[in-house]
Amino acid sequence: MRKGTKMNRIAFPLAVTLAIMFSSFAICSAEDAIVPKNRIVLFDGKSFDGWFRYLRNNQGDVDETWKVKSGGILTCAGEPRGYIRTNAAYKNYKLHVEYRWPAKPGNNGILVHMVGEDKVWPMSLECQGGYHNQGDFWEIGGLEFNEHAIGGHRVRGRRVLKYGEHNEKEAGQWNVYEVWCVGGTVRPYVNGKLMNEASDCSVKEGKICLQSEGAPIEFRNIYVEPAKDLPWPVIPNRKIALFNGKDLDSWVRFIPGDEPDADKKWTVDKVWSVRDGIIRCAGVPNGYIRTTESYANYKLHLEWRWPGKPTNSGVLLHRAGIDKVWPQCVEAQLMNQNAGDFWLLSFSTIKADGKQIGPEQYANAEKMNPSNEKPAGQWNYYDIVCDGKTITLSVNGLLQNKGADANPSHGPICLQSEGSPIEFRNIYLEPIR
């Protein structure tokens, strides 16, 4: 990255942030929300104590729609439309729910941060429960969040698609849905896999609902726990393959302002593709792919080559904030003949060679040695060690840069689209120790 090559895109992200911030001023829950100090069992396996059952327009019989059967199982007939909700509101918690489809799978959902009157559907954030769509978000009643507000190929009206492939079991088998609600962030996990993230939610607390919406479903082991020992950032304790060689599952593609063309094809689909075990990037327009997970304290290995004329790209470390061009992060430069430079983007900082670099919109710390990159068409490799706030960059086995006191010091890892076609392979993390 050269300082003059990056466009300053502040206005749109600022507008998104302000819109969400001001909307939150007008919304509050009707009662003080409970912050769990210990595990709170929401369903006792015997009764509806602590719950309120609601059906659309108060039609139908809640005792026919919602029942408790032996074995501590809560059953839902799926019709009429409605939900069962907690009487109490909660904030800053981990929600644990187990569910299964006793017959043909259908639609359902978990509503968090529900506020306002009972209706179909109340203001809330829906963590989708539809079969093979678990982990999608639905914005309901104006509850806004960054990932919905910025738009792009994952946003379909009020819906924000999950990160990648589903992780659900077949009908009849029990699944585990865990939803972390921490401050303004909501992260749903299905059977241990992170499916999505909503940040800067305009409502940060509220009641918890389980929907009745289309097909019979069963629940058990429903409880909330304190939001401690967060599962992110991930600190590797074994080798983690970030790229599976087949597709971009576990990656998020981002191009600002992405819209489908006349053939209903999104820009990200034209920029990023996988073939023969290689991630292929067209290089234009500017954007990136990033890991769905946030990471800290790791060794990153990746290989890259220029199939044609070499130009510009980069590995963005510790990406913070919302997706934009360019986010706050520490860039390990990939511009031709400049691999090994640091670029500090969007007011990130680092100390290199004893000097403070940043905070500025763009700041640079040059590599230690002359370029040791290979010619176009040949594979190069980056070995990057992020140890706390220290980052070292080695290109083709040669140490090229070292920085200390990096800020930010953890986050997703991004690969840039910024110039011309570039290819990546063999991307993985390993423990430092």
Residue 6 falls within a domain, yes or no? no
Each residue of 234-262: pLDDT tens digit?
Answer: 999 999 999 999 999 999 999 999 999 99
Enclosing domain of residue 109: 24-226
What is the reported pLDDT for 30?
44
Residue 30 CA to residue 47 CA, distance in Å, equals 25
313 and 242 part of one domain: yes
274 and 407 part of one domain: yes
Residue 5's pLDDT band (cuts 50, 70, 90): very low
Residue 354 falls within a domain, yes or no? yes
286 and 204 part of one domain: no
CA 193 to each of CA 39, 105, 175, 179, 237: distance values in angstroms, whole numbers, following the listed order: 22, 20, 11, 11, 17
Residue 91 falls within a domain, yes or no? yes
Each residue of 86-117: pLDDT tens digit?
Answer: 999 999 999 999 999 999 999 999 999 999 99
Residue where one domain finishes, among candidates 203, 226, 249: 226
Residue 7 falls within a domain, yes or no? no
78 and 155 part of one domain: yes
419 and 279 part of one domain: yes
pLDDT greater than 50 at residue 8: no
pLDDT greater than 50 at residue 26: no
Name the residue type at position 278: I
Residue 16 falls within a domain, yes or no? no
209 and 64 part of one domain: yes
262 and 185 part of one domain: no
Residue where one domain finishes, among candidates 166, 200, 226: 226
pTM, full prediction: 0.91
Residue 152 falls within a domain, yes or no? yes
Residue where one domain finishes, among candidates 205, 226, 247: 226
Residue 3's pLDDT band (cuts 50, 70, 90): very low
Each residue of 67-90: pLDDT tens digit?
Answer: 999 999 999 999 999 999 999 999
pLDDT greater than 60 at residue 221: yes
162 and 248 part of one domain: no
110 and 133 part of one domain: yes
CATH of the domain at 53: 2.60.120.560
220 and 238 part of one domain: no
pLDDT greater than 80 at residue 27: no
pLDDT greater than 50 at residue 43: yes
Each residue of 181-196: pLDDT tens digit?
Answer: 999 999 999 999 999 9
Residues 6+ apart with CB under 8 A from 288: 253, 254, 316, 325, 414, 415, 416, 417
216 and 248 part of one domain: no
55 and 147 part of one domain: yes
SS3 content of the chain, % helix, strand, coil (to 5): 10, 40, 50
What is the reported pLDDT for 433?
84
Question: Domain count of the chain?
Answer: 2
Each residue of 378-411: pLDDT tens digit?
Answer: 999 999 999 999 999 999 999 999 999 999 999 9
